[in-house]
Structures are given as C-alpha cells and as structure tokens.
Structure 1
C-alpha cells in the first residue's frame, strides 16, 4: 500500500538532489552529520544504516565538492573524523526545504484530521527499531 507513495516521493526528490549536485546517499550522509559535529565513518555508517565500506565513494564525492571534511582522528590515526562543512549544511538545508515544500503540497490533499492521523502513524512507525520492522 505504501510502495507507490514512497516510490513517487523518491521520484520527486531525485530532481531536487540533482539540482544541488548530490545523490540520495549524499543527502543521507549530510543529514547524518547534521547532529554529529564530528563522526567516524563507522559511527556514521551505523547511524544511517549503511555499510561503512559502501559509503566511501559517497564520502569522496562530498569531500571533493567541499560539503564534508575528513580529518585524522587524534585518538586513532587509522580513523578519520567526518564533519559537515558550512557549504554542506547550506546544501542540506536547501534540499530539505524543497523536499518539505513538496511534502506540504502533498499533505494539503488531506483534511486536517487525516493529516494529523497520518503524520502521527508515520512518526510512530518510523520510530520503531529496524529489527522490529524486519521481524
């Protein structure tokens, strides 16, 4: 039941991401770094639900674009600390704003009561642990 809606929302987000020169995973990474001033690659991967080796290309692209920085971890020279840059935060906020405007437009199709119930249910289901969803 949700698949057509989710697919359409993703399709609506892709041009927004393209206009800002990032991928969906790039946007996920920028959001993952938003609340973590510095994060190791392993901690970020866990936070966003990605394999740490699979996001390397995304991190390379974001770093090359000046949207994140990678600095050696003083506590572990094998690790790098990732941080979102000011430019990265501007891109993240711009993309988020465009996505939210589209979501608001879509939610305007619902009555106030339907919107409240939908958002409440979506928030509750989104907060479930992944293991609970998969089981």
Structure 2
C-alpha cells in the first residue's frame, strides 16, 4: 500500500483506542473500579505520590475532578492519604495492600484481553515497543 493510501495515524490510534476501552470496561466493572480509579491505582503502583496536584498532573487529570475518585478509593481502603512528615500541608498518596492486590488483578485481566487482541498480529513485540517509545516521546 502506498504511503498516501494508509489511514492517518490518528484515525488508526482512535480506532484501536476505542476497541481497547470497550474491551477494558467489562473488566473494570467486574473488579468494581472505574477507569480513572484504575489509572490512579496504576500511577501509585511504583510508589507514593506527593500531593494530589502532582498525581493529577502525572496522569493528565483535572485535580478538582480527581478528588471524588481519591475519596472513593480511600473510603474503600485502596489508597491512603497521609500528611507528609516533611510538610503537613501536603498529603502523600499511596496504595494499601488491598489497592495493590486490586491493581494487579485488573492489570492481569487487561493484559490477557490485550493478548487476545494481539494474538493475530504479526510482529506484536515490535508493535508494543514502538507504542511504548511513541508514548514516551509525547509525554
């Protein structure tokens, strides 16, 4: 196919993104977590975030819309928001053991569903590496 005959990258990414989101939604519902809740759990997986505003910026969320999500995750015992010993005006956000378990379970199910989508894809490892590189390049 000639270069001018292929779909634009945006069109291809949007089609794939819509399919992936549709695939993830029942998994998230099964685990009782919203998409943004899962994004927060995943962002906190590697360590605590110093301040809600920092977390919001890291995940590309509006900090005012993030507060109810954090409230829900905390109420459910999935995250903790504790005063930072270095600055008590700041809250450290971190996963609880239950939050870590839930994040891992959701991610395991999402990865299994991704594998089903990628199964027929030639050179899928190269696709995933390229997607990771593009994602880093635009962050």
Offset, 1:75: 2.5
Determine whether 1:82 maps to 2:93: yes
Give the Cα–Cα distance (whole angstroms) in 1 for the partners of residues 133 and 92 of structure 2: 32
Find the partner of 1:122 among 128, 131, 135.
Answer: 131
The answer (yes or no) to whether the contact 1:25–1:58 under 8 Å persists in 2 is: yes
Greater radius of gyration (CA): 2
Aligned length, in residue pairs = 128
Q: Which residue in the other structure is 1:133 paired with?
A: none
Is there any run of 5+ residues in structure 2 with no aligned partner, and where? 1-11
Determine whether 1:102 maps to 2:105: no
The answer (yes or no) to whether the contact 1:17–1:24 under 8 Å persists in 2 is: yes
Give the Cα–Cα distance (whole angstroms) in 2 for the partners of residues 38 and 110 of structure 1: 36
Give the Cα–Cα distance (whole angstroms) in 1 for the partners of residues 96 and 135 of structure 2: 28
TM-score scaled by length of structure 1? 0.87
Is there any run of 5+ residues in structure 1 with no aligned partner, and where? 131-135
CA RMSD of aligned residues (A): 1.4
Task: Give 4+ residue runs of structure 1 displaced > 3 Å after superposition.
Answer: none
Give the Cα–Cα distance (whole angstroms) in 1 for the partners of residues 64 and 75 of structure 2: 18
